[in-house]
Chain A
Amino acid sequence: MDFQVVVLAGGFSKKLVPLVSKEVPKALLPVANRPVLSYVLDLLEQSNLKDLIVVVEGSDAAFRVGGWISAAYLDRLHVDVAPVPEDIGTAGALRAISHHLTARDILVVSGDLVSDVPPGAVAAAHRRHDAVVTATLCSNPVSGPADSGSSGAKDKTKKPGRNIIGLDPSRQFLLHIAAGAELEKDLRVQKSILRAVGEMELRADLMDAHLYAIKRSVLLEVLDQKETFQSIKKDVLPYLVRSQLKSEVLSNGAPQVEENGNDKVNSQSKRITQSQILANASNRSFHELYAFGPDGSASARRTHKCCVYIANNNKYCARLNSIQAFSDINRDVTGEANHLSGYSFSAHNNLIHPSAELGSKTTVGPHCLLGEGSQMGDKCSVKRSVIGRHCRIGSSVKIVNSVVMDHVTIGDGCSVQGSVVCSNVQLQERVTLKDCQVGASYVVTAGSEYRGESLAKKEK
């Protein structure tokens, strides 16, 4: 179908410290014991998109991601892992790999997307309208119950997810998008767009899923001309939306007509008649109405279309871009969206690997996941938590609403609530953690008690 897929897998996201580390780049953070990137790759594989470019920031991270992909998706996917320098932003990353892009349209997917929105639908919507860019929107995920212990860090991380989106009445076109820092300012809506459309619907309850279909020629042109553009979402998309009625990108308007009747035999007037027949018969979007001008004559106003695909409410869609999101996604994937995890859950809505050992009187509640080779002592209780592989958990341990990664040792009498415990962490006896994040290989001394803290080893 002439689409090329670029997965932007990121690098070591600062937002996710202390979860990410040198060993675990963002793309490999485990969600229900699988790297988050695997969700995107599976989604693409299901859509028969097997030729991918995965862009990773930093060559070290690229090496790790590449290693994992080649092991996990051998013979299934054809993946090129392209390392790009760190901190060049999503637009920068695309700029860096632009020479690899050959197809007519590019599907840009964020590597931290956990979703079952079919990419085909986005691509189809894109094609149907012959749009320049199509963004995928979904309703904002509900934040978890663990919200109660909100720390300052969480408030900060929540903001980028919010944005204000303007749609046309048919909810097919994007008229306005404001995200991040722009939200603090007054909302500025372009008069020309508003006049052309007549009506705009402003929504704050939609989230940008970072799944875009972009016309390659336009993308390359924009990246080429606007060298300061850093991020697709914050720079490129708003720019395209802003300029949709006074298009500066080449590949639209006039050339499009050329495409329709690119036969030299066609006289100009014939071509106009032809395109007019087509235009009159089709439901014209405001773009065309605007381009044709009030008198119906084909004036030279060039426009391009920015479409949206709004995912159905029954589709799951979340981005792992904050610590809060990390716990939320882990909870959802083992809970309500467990079809995404790829595991088949037991009748109790949980999954205990056959090789896991449970002590006597230990209960594992619903929406739990217990990885292979993990051992639990007696009288433990696990609720709504994910426990990784080869963990050793002592007796009388309570784990609620938490994520415990691989190779974690938890001493007797510990209580872990709403926390994330990274790999190789050692919790000694009677540790109490509430809403904490514990970085990899950290050792929590016996009897200590933490609330809402982020514990990590000092970087040397």
Chain B
Amino acid sequence: MEPRRPSRAVIDPKVRQVGFITPNAPPQQPVRTQSYPPESNSPPLSESPASNSLSPVMIPPPRHLSDNLTAYRTPAVPVPESSRRRAEPAAVACSYDPSESLFGTSSPAPSPLASSRLVVDGEFSEESWFKKSDSAKFASSFPGGGFDLTTVKNVGVAAAVAAKKPAAVSGNEKSKASGAESKNELPSGSGSKTSKVKMTKSERRSLQESQRAAKGGNKSAGASSSRAAKQPQQKKDAAPAPPSVAASEKKGTDRPPEKERKKDVPAPRMQFDDKSRVEKAKKRAVVNQTEVRNRVELFRHLPQYEHGTQLPDLESKFFRNDPMHRAVYKVGLQYLAGDITGGNARCIAMLQAFSEAIRDYTTPAEKTLTRDLTAKIGSYVSFLIECRPLSISMGNAIRFLKNRIAKLPLTLSESEAKTSLCLDIDRFINEKIILADRVIVRHASTKIRDGDVLLTYGSSCVVEMLLSHALELGKKFHVVIVDSRPKLEGQSLLRRLVANGLNCTYTHLNAVSYIMHEVTRVFLGASSILSNGTVYSRVGTAAVAMVANAFSVPVLICCEAYKFHERVQLDSICFNELGDPQAVAKVSGRGDVNYLGSLGNKDNLQLLNLMYDATPSEYISMIVTDYGMIPPTSVPVIVREYCRDQLWI
């Protein structure tokens, strides 16, 4: 039961805040029945859009996105049947860590208590659990709000839970069955873990088969969960199975015959503490960079280069890199020089450069466009990576583009193919970034009410749009901009907002706990959102979110869906980006000020300038995305339904 409970808890972390903390659950049941009689459980899915002004999950058929924003309302429901079922495994898979659930949103509830209560909770059918938590939660966090969040949240959750519903309609008994099932699953999961040393692969498989057969009995409920059981096991199976080479872990997962599977597996990142690989990569590299000598131990696997040497070097080679298109080169230079920062801007700049490069592209003789262009784009991308590591959103955009190239019909002539690709790129920019931003702004602005004090951190372009939009709507609110060294991105945001006539407070990250008393909402941008709900964003975001959480201030993340990624990340160590370490010591614009002085060259001093951090999902109240407002636990749904195969548009 353990592995399942936490997942529920993650779906709605505020439960614990609301849940009247009696360790025995029964008194809570009435709450559930009050708000929604069990019979009407499934209807809300289809009815709520009609009755509500704002539909909850806002999962439209993708085509309508560009045409009409209001089109959301009607097609809000269609989460395909099959996907509903598959929602389950993802929800389970994304929350292995039981401790995740224990950190309540605002109540730092003593964990044992919470967990015990959770276990008791488990006796109820899931959906009831949500109901009450939702209603209760929103009663508390948005008292008397003009906007009915309950249903929104509810159905938003419903997407994730949807799988459960068909199975659990008939009531508690079934859910108990599935609970039992999850019990089954637990031993098998942990069993495979403990026994993986002695078991051979075939043995494990047979065990799995038998388990599956056993489950096959309760078909109606089991249909979904058998998959749930299968998937994690498959993974476990694949990962530790080849004991021969640790490095071939990736190959192991590659093995499944379906080709898509192969594509999904992310290429292994360069580990920059692996000397031989680094050497190899250096030979290929266009940009000649010297690695920083003195790197922080924990982050040796990340690339970090001597700053300041790259740009002149790359510049001096300007004419030597013939295969590079000039637009791409320019964008690369701009990345390197820091002229373009910010996820959306970088992505747009890159796509525009690609579009220009495609326009100027001609297929060489005896080559096919699909293959040659893919290789070309690949070389551009590796050049851009050398200039600055890609963000996840850019990776998604690239995958989209490559996918479009690969799927080009062979019958198209070269010029047709090129125009179609350019149109695709433009559509991606328009629909996934610009229109998405507008949708986000529209949704999020409903969360701003007169008298609010909004806090934002750094400079996010969506949040900026949101604030100016809310201002246009005539809302009266105050903005607190929290900033941090060394980039001080917030300053430009502040400048623009103040110019727009907004009431602003500007402070640095160290003062966030003081200012948080006054804040009613926190709006943050994100570089990426991972499928366990972790928000990967500008370093410092996590601190802001946690402080807000401690002060019971709702944290809303504004992020376009193209930045979602199926990867799961629990910390910000594995993947991160290291900035110029000297920037920490220096004051921008004032070369004469160097706090560390000559200390900077000492061997036993290591400077660390991290660029990103990961905010665990439990600190996030809501993610505002172009598919609607969702809890962080529903990210996998978006990833699975809309980001799969990079069928972005």
Residues on A with beta carbons closer than 8 Å to the beta carbon of B38: none
By the criterion CB–CB under 8 Å, are B319 and A274 in contact?
no
Known: A2-B326, A274-B348. A280 touches B461 (CB 8 A): yes
B5 to chain A, nearest CB (A): 42
A120 adjacent to B340 (CB under 8 Å): no
B379 located at the interface, meaning its Cβ lies under 8 Å from any Cβ of chain A in the complex: no
Q: Are B312 and A277 in contact (CB under 8 A)?
A: no
Asked whether, in the complex, the Cβ of B345 is within 8 Å of the Cβ of A277, the reply is yes
- Is A55 an interface residue, CB under 8 A from the partner? no
Is B329 within 8 A of A127, CB to CB?
Answer: yes
Give 29 A-B contacts (CB < 8 Å), ordered by A residue. Answer: A1-B326, A1-B329, A3-B319, A47-B316, A118-B315, A119-B318, A119-B319, A120-B315, A120-B320, A124-B316, A124-B318, A127-B326, A128-B330, A128-B333, A128-B337, A169-B589, A260-B352, A265-B423, A266-B430, A270-B434, A273-B437, A273-B438, A277-B434, A278-B348, A278-B349, A281-B342, A281-B461, A295-B500, A296-B496
Q: Mark A101-121, 1 if CB is under 8 A from B, else 0.
A: 000100000000000001111
Chain A hits for B315, CB < 8 A: 118, 120-121, 124-125
Interface-central residue, A125, A266, A282, by most chain B CB under 10 Å: A282
Which chain A positions have C-beta within 8 A of B423?
A: 263, 265
Which of A123, A266, A278, A284 meets B318, CB within 8 Å?
A: A123
Are the CB atoms of A281 and B499 closer together than 8 Å?
A: no
Q: Does B429 contact A (CB under 8 A)?
A: yes
Show the binding face of A for B, using Cβ within 8 Å. 1-3, 47-49, 104, 118-121, 123-125, 127-128, 130, 169, 260-261, 263, 265-266, 270, 273-274, 277-278, 280-284, 294-296, 312
| Cα-based distance from A136 to B329 in the complex (angstroms) | 21
CA–CA, A125 to B315, complex, Å?
7
17 further A-B contacts with Cβ under 8 Å, apart from A169-B589, A280-B342, are A1-B318, A48-B319, A119-B319, A120-B316, A120-B318, A125-B315, A127-B318, A128-B333, A266-B430, A274-B348, A277-B342, A280-B492, A280-B496, A281-B342, A282-B340, A282-B341, A284-B492
A273 and B462 alpha carbons, distance in the complex (Å):
11
In whole Å, how far is A168's beta carbon from the nearest beta carbon of chain B?
12
Residue of A nearest to B312 (CB): A121
Bound-state Cα–Cα, A118 to B426, Å: 36
Instruction: Give chain B's interface residue range (CB within 8 Å of chain A).
Output: 35 or more
Residues on B facing A (Cβ under 8 Å): 312, 314-322, 326, 329-330, 333-334, 337-342, 344-346, 348-349, 352, 422-423, 426-427, 429-430, 433-435, 437-438, 459, 461, 464, 492, 496, 499-500, 589
Q: Is there an interface contact between A282 and B348, defined as CB atoms closer than 8 Å?
A: no
B464 touches A280 (CB 8 A): yes
Tally of A-B Cβ pairs under 8 angstroms? 116
Nearest A residue to B346, CB-CB:
A281
How long is the Cα–Cα vector from A280 to B340 in the complex, in angstroms?
9
- Is B322's CB under 8 angstroms from A277's CB? no
- Please indicate which of the listed interface residues A277, A282, A294, A296 has the most CB atoms of chain B within 10 Å of its own CB: A277
> Would B330 and A263 count as touching, CB distance under 8 A?
no
Q: Which residue on chain A has the smallest CB distance to residue B338?
A: A283
Q: Assess the A127–B317 pair: CB atoms within 8 A.
A: no
CB distance from A13 to the nearest CB of B (A): 29
Asked whether A294 lies within 8 Å of B339 as measured between CB atoms, the reply is no
| Contacting residues, chain B, for A260 (C-beta < 8 A) | 352
A70 to B465, CA, bound (A): 61
A277 to B461 CA separation, bound complex (whole angstroms): 7
> Separation in Å of the A284 CB from the closest CB of chain B?
8
Considering the chains assembled together, what is the distance between the CA atoms of A296 and B496 in angstroms? Answer: 7
Whether A274 and B339, one on each chain, are in contact in the complex, defined by CB atoms closer than 8 angstroms, is no
Can you name the residue of chain A whose Cβ is closest to the Cβ of B341?
A281
Residues of B within 8 A of A104 (CB): 326
Known: A1-B329, A124-B333, A296-B499. A47 touches B348 (CB 8 A): no
Complex Cα spacing A294 to B501, Å: 12
Nearest neighbor of A130 in chain B, beta-carbon distance: B330
Chain A contacts of B342 at CB under 8 A?
Answer: 277, 280-281
Residues of A within 8 A of B334 (CB): 128, 282
Q: How far is the CA of A270 from the CA of B438 in the complex (A)?
A: 10
Q: Is the CB of B339 within 8 A of A282?
A: yes
Task: Specify which chain A residues have a CB less than 8 angstroms from the CB of B338 in the assembled complex.
Answer: 283
Greatest chain B CB density within 10 A among A1, A169, A294 is at: A1
Question: Are the CB atoms of A278 and B340 closer together than 8 Å?
Answer: yes
Contact of B426 among A2, A266, A277, A312 (CB under 8 A): A266
CB-based nearest A residue for B337 = A128
Q: What residues on A are CB-neighbors of B344 within 8 Å?
A: 277, 281
In the bound complex, CA of A119 to CA of B461 (Å):
36
Given the known interface contacts A294-B499, A296-B500, the answer about A277 and B348 at a Cβ–Cβ threshold of 8 Å is yes
